């Protein structure tokens, strides 16, 4: 019995050395490290297990089958911005663009200075795991033949404007450039964890409970001894049988930045630090309007990036082609005026920026256990956010765009190359912008001070035995680059610590 | 309330000379599927957006009638203005509706062919049971 899917009745009880909650970047990396170390592992995943042939084609299908709660989680603050996370075996690695970026050295220095974690030995260990991940998951630059016109234009703009950009390295084995990252890669080129680490854990004798959201961590005194919950049917959302997964040696929580703190709180860890320190990389796109068709959905979803302004401005610039139906919903207006804008879709290229924001929020449980993210955006972040849009717009013009569409409420629909001052002096009210939060951090932060952090540098929860956190919620700060590589290597360190490896 | 959602969505995406409108893009089947499959919260959001849309012409074109009683030209003006209203919460409610309208319209084979994007096969909606 290595995989137990939704069970309508008949309670399920399983036992192993370790129980890992979540199978995304953190959970799968922790589970495979434990399994390779000889431990028996039970993975408990809230969503169903979908093979590539089960993946949705349409955006509607992706929202239904892959997104957490139909993608309806939004930040509660001055602006309501969506929080993008997946809910299936493989987690967000199934729906992201599989971008691989090594943890920058300055991040460790900041963690060390501000939180007392992340010394030289820790950094070197993280990078060794990142070497291993790059081998395991076939990290490579996107091949020129898979780039597509939008990415080629970004390279052209970069060459003209000097953005010091690069072709993105991704966890992809011979990417075909099908532009379907958001709906999952049906051609199995993207190396999401449901294709490699999760099956490896099962081959090594592990077990997987899918459609099984953990409701509580079970304790005996201070010691975590398992998790319990009820199966939820992936289509009808009907509650099924109860399950209990018992752990002889430890419980590793990697349920995501929004769900891990809520699970801990629901399990009686009501320390003020649980759910605090939520951070993100809010991002938004600017369309370039080109004379020739771009057909941005042909080619790799994200092929070009620049981190030139990461340290000075906190910006990362990237190409990003989202599905056509999502892209057009960002064009302003309704009725005939809107449809006349949609006619020009083939000539649009959307490029984005993500901001290493300094704003901090919280995650708490709301009605029915749904995570509530409270997150405001201060004026300093807004200025940099707007500045990122200016950089993207300038890149479009350097690439030959005749206009840009910033998508800011209250500004003209499109701006020509000589109208960028309008964007530079644009509003600083976050409600005027359409943004998303795709990279999330914090909520179960690691740190030396038990009053302000939840875990130590090995992911062990302060004041509890045999309970660990191994996802992005551990990170005490946002990092300014795509976080999957950092999450996975951090989870591997946590898993080694749980096994007692010094 | 599906009829109300349909009215609002179709007004947002009418047919033009070169593109089919939402009414010709399988909206009825889409809404029946959405009503059946989505969460109560998402459906509530769509209905709320539709109510806002239908009842707000007095704010946009200054006519105290529901949107479906407006002549075609005024309905277009209303659709454009309510999608870009200065009232943030109204704009957000309408944005959800518009996003679902775009999801329905954008999966239509004729639309996809016209915009040179590959057609979508049927979503399998399957998952591993063993």
Residue A166 inside a domain? The answer is yes
Residue A75 inside a domain? The answer is no
Number of domains comprising chain B? 1
Largest CA distance in chain B: 59
**Rounded Cα–Cα distance for residues A157 and A180 (Å):** 24
Residues from chain A contacting residue B49 (CB–CB below 8 Å): none
DSSP 8-class letter at A362: E
Nearest CA in chain B to A327: B102
Residues from chain A contacting residue B118 (CB–CB below 8 Å): 297
Q: Are residues A208 and A324 in the same domain?
A: no
Closest Cβ opposite residue A335 in set B11, B102, B117: B11
**Rounded Cα–Cα distance for residues A436 and A433 (Å):** 10
pLDDT of residue A333: 96
Domain stops at, among A393, A417, A437: A437
- A244, containing H or E segment: strand A239-253
CA neighbor of A18 nearest in space, from A494, A502, A426? A494
**Rounded Cα–Cα distance for residues B106 and B112 (Å):** 7
Using the Cβ of A50 and the Cβ atoms of chain B, whether some distance falls under 8 Å is answered with: yes
Give the model confidence (pLDDT) of A37-75 as tens digits: 999 999 999 999 999 999 999 999 999 999 999 998 899
Say if the Cβ atoms of A338 and B39 lie within 8 Å: no
Using the Cβ of B130 and the Cβ atoms of chain A, whether some distance falls under 8 Å is answered with: yes
Domain stops at, among A415, A437, A459: A437
- Is the separation of the CB atoms in A128 and A501 below 8 Å? no
Say if the Cβ atoms of B123 and A80 lie within 8 Å: no
Residue B127 inside a domain? The answer is no
Residues from chain B contacting residue A332 (CB–CB below 8 Å): 83-84
Closest Cβ opposite residue A325 in set B19, B83, B105: B105
pLDDT of residue A502: 66
Residue A25 inside a domain? The answer is yes
Number of domains comprising chain A? 2
Q: Are residues A94 and A155 in the same domain?
A: no
Please, what is the average pLDDT of chain A? 95
Residue B34 is part of which domain span? 2-114
User: Catalytic pick from A347, A396, A439, A462?
Assistant: A439
Residue A69 inside a domain? The answer is no
Residue A161 is part of which domain span? 141-182+278-437
- Is the separation of the CB atoms in A311 and A481 below 8 Å? no
* Residues of chain B by 3-state class (helix, strand, coil), percent to 5: 65, 0, 35
Residue A427 inside a domain? The answer is yes
CATH label of the domain that carries residue A225: 3.50.50.60
Nearest CA in chain B to A3: B130
Residue B107 inside a domain? The answer is yes
Distance from CA of B48 to the nearest CA of A (A): 15
Say if the Cβ atoms of A3 and B92 lie within 8 Å: no
Residue A412 inside a domain? The answer is yes
Q: Are residues A406 and A262 in the same domain?
A: no
pLDDT of residue A369: 82
pLDDT of residue A501: 78
Say if the Cβ atoms of B83 and A338 lie within 8 Å: yes
Instruction: ipTM value, please give it.
Output: 0.96
Using the Cβ of B122 and the Cβ atoms of chain A, whether some distance falls under 8 Å is answered with: yes
Which A-chain residues 220-239 have CB contacts (< 8 A) with chain B? 234-235, 237
Could you tell me how many CB contacts below 8 A there are between chain A and chain B?
155
pTM score above 0.90: yes
Q: Are residues A291 and A389 in the same domain?
A: yes
**Rounded Cα–Cα distance for residues B129 and A162 (Å):** 52
CATH label of the domain that carries residue A399: 3.30.410
Say if the Cβ atoms of A325 and B84 lie within 8 Å: no
**Rounded Cα–Cα distance for residues A364 and A307 (Å):** 32
Using the Cβ of B70 and the Cβ atoms of chain A, whether some distance falls under 8 Å is answered with: no
Q: Are residues A314 and A367 in the same domain?
A: yes
Best mutation target among B41, B103, B121 (most A Cβ atoms within 10 Å) is B103
Closest Cβ opposite residue B103 in set A59, A79, A88: A59
Residues from chain B contacting residue A49 (CB–CB below 8 Å): 127-128
* Token pair recorded at residue A273: 């630090």
CA neighbor of B84 nearest in space, from A413, A2, A363? A413
Say if the Cβ atoms of A54 and B45 lie within 8 Å: no
Residue A67 inside a domain? The answer is no
* CA A377, A380, A383, A387 torsion-angle sign: negative
Residues from chain A contacting residue B123 (CB–CB below 8 Å): 56-58, 60-61, 64-65
**Rounded Cα–Cα distance for residues A19 and A13 (Å):** 12
Q: Are residues A427 and A459 in the same domain?
A: no
Residue B119 inside a domain? The answer is no
Say if the Cβ atoms of B124 and A53 lie within 8 Å: yes
Give the model confidence (pLDDT) of B14-68 as tens digits: 999 889 999 999 999 999 999 999 999 999 999 999 999 999 999 999 999 999 9
Q: Are residues A211 and A325 in the same domain?
A: no
CA neighbor of A58 nearest in space, from B83, B114, B112? B112
Distance from CA of A291 to the nearest CA of B (A): 15
Q: Are residues A333 and A379 in the same domain?
A: yes
Cα-Cα-Cα-Cα torsion A108, A113, A116, A122, nearest 10 degrees, comes to: 20
Distance from CA of B84 to the nearest CA of A (A): 6
pLDDT of residue B17: 86
Say if the Cβ atoms of A295 and B117 lie within 8 Å: yes
Q: pLDDT truncated to tens, each residue of chain A (502 aa)?
A: 599 999 999 999 999 999 999 999 999 999 999 999 999 999 999 999 999 999 999 999 999 999 999 998 899 999 999 998 999 999 999 999 999 999 999 999 999 999 999 899 999 999 999 999 999 999 999 999 999 999 999 999 999 999 999 999 999 999 999 988 999 999 999 999 999 999 999 999 999 999 999 999 999 999 999 999 999 999 999 999 999 999 999 999 999 999 999 999 999 999 999 999 999 999 999 999 999 999 999 999 999 999 999 988 899 999 999 999 999 999 999 999 999 999 999 999 999 999 999 999 999 998 878 899 999 989 999 999 999 999 999 999 999 999 999 999 999 999 999 999 999 999 999 999 999 998 999 999 999 999 999 999 999 999 999 999 999 999 999 999 999 999 999 999 999 999 987 6
**Rounded Cα–Cα distance for residues A192 and A198 (Å):** 10
Does residue A347 have an active-site annotation? no
Q: Are residues A453 and A361 in the same domain?
A: no
Which A-chain residues 83-122 have CB contacts (< 8 A) with chain B? 88
CA neighbor of A382 nearest in space, from A421, A425, A311, A430? A430
Burial environment of residue A174 by CB neighbours within 10 A (0 to 12, 13 to 18, 19 or more): exposed
**Rounded Cα–Cα distance for residues B66 and B55 (Å):** 5
Distance from CA of A7 to the nearest CA of B (A): 9
Q: Are residues A160 and A300 in the same domain?
A: yes
Which A-chain residues 289-348 have CB contacts (< 8 A) with chain B? 293, 295, 297, 323-326, 328-329, 332-340, 342-343, 345-346
CA neighbor of A115 nearest in space, from A478, A452, A443? A452
Q: Are residues A257 and A321 in the same domain?
A: no
Where are the strands (E) in A61-213, listed by range?
75-76, 139-141, 166-167, 169-171, 207-209
User: How far apart are the two ends of chain A, measured CA to CA in Å?
Assistant: 33
Q: Are residues A365 and A314 in the same domain?
A: yes
Locus of tokens 């600083």: A428
Residue A68 inside a domain? The answer is no
**Rounded Cα–Cα distance for residues A6 and A231 (Å):** 6
Using the Cβ of B13 and the Cβ atoms of chain A, whether some distance falls under 8 Å is answered with: yes
């Amino acid at each position: 019995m290595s995989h137990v899917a939704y069970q309508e009745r008949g309670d399920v009880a399983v036992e192993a050395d370790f129980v890992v909650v979540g199978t995304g970047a953190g959970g799968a990396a922790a589970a495979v490290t434990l399994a390779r170390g000889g431990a028996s592992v039970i993975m408990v995943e809230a969503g169903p297990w979908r093979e590539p042939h089960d993946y949705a084609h349409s955006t509607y299908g992706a929202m239904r089958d892959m997104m957490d709660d139909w993608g309806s989680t939004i930040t509660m603050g001055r602006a309501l911005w969506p929080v993008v996370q997946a809910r299936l075996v493989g987690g967000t690695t199934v729906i992201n663009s599989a971008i691989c970026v090594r943890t920058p050295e300055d991040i460790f220095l900041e963690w060390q200075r501000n939180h007392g974690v992340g010394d030289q030995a820790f950094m070197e260990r993280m990078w060794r795991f990142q070497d291993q991940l790059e081998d395991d998951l076939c990290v490579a630059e996107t091949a020129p033949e898979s780039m597509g016109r939008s990415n080629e234009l970004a390279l052209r703009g970069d060459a003209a404007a000097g953005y010091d950009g690069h072709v993105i390295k991704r966890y992809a084995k011979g990417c075909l450039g099908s532009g379907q990252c958001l709906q999952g890669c049906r051609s199995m080129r993207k190396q999401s964890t449901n294709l490699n680490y999760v099956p490896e854990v099962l081959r090594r004798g592990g077990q997987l409970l899918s459609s099984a959201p953990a409701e509580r961590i079970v304790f005996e005194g201070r010691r975590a001894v398992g998790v319990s919950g009820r199966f939820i049917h992936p289509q009808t959302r009907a509650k099924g049988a109860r399950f209990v997964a018992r752990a002889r040696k430890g419980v590793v929580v990697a349920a995501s930045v929004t769900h891990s703190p809520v699970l801990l709180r629901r399990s009686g860890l009501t320390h003020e630090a649980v759910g605090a320190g939520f951070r993100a990389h809010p991002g938004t796109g600017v369309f370039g309007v080109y004379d020739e068709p771009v057909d941005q959905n042909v080619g790799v979803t994200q092929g070009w990036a620049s981190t030139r302004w990461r340290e000075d401005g906190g910006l990362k610039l990237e190409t990003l082609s989202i599905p056509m139906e999502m892209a057009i919903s960002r064009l302003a207006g309704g009725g005939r005026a809107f449809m006349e804008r949609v006619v020009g879709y083939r000539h649009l290229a959307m490029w984005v920026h993500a901001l290493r924001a300094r704003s901090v929020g919280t995650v708490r449980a709301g009605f029915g256990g749904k995570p509530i993210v409270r997150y405001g955006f201060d004026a300093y972040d807004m200025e940099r956010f707007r500045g990122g849009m200016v950089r993207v717009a300038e890149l479009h013009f350097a690439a030959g765009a005749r206009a840009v569409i910033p998508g800011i409420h209250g500004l003209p629909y499109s701006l020509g190359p000589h109208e960028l001052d309008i964007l530079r002096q644009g509003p600083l009210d976050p409600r005027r912008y359409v943004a998303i939060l795709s990279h999330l951090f914090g909520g179960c932060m690691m740190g030396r001070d038990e009053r302000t952090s939840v875990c130590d540098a090995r992911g062990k929860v302060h004041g509890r035995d045999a309970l660990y956190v191994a996802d992005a919620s551990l990170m005490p700060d946002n990092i300014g680059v795509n976080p999957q590589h950092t999450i996975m290597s951090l989870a591997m360190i946590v898993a080694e610590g749980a096994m007692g490896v010094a | 309330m599906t009829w109300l959602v349909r009215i609002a969505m179709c007004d947002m995406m009418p047919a033009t000379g070169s593109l089919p409108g939402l009414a010709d893009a399988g909206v009825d089947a889409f809404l029946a599927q959405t009503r059946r499959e989505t969460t109560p919260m998402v459906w509530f959001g769509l209905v709320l957006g539709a109510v806002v849309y239908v009842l707000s012409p007095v704010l946009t074109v200054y006519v105290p009638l529901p949107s479906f009683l407006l002549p075609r030209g005024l309905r277009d003006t209303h659709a454009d203005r309510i999608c870009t209203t200065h009232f943030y919460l109204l704009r957000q409610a309408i944005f959800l509706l518009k996003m679902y309208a775009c999801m329905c319209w954008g999966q239509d084979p004729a639309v996809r062919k016209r915009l040179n994007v590959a057609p979508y096969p049927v979503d399998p909606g399957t998952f591993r049971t063993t």
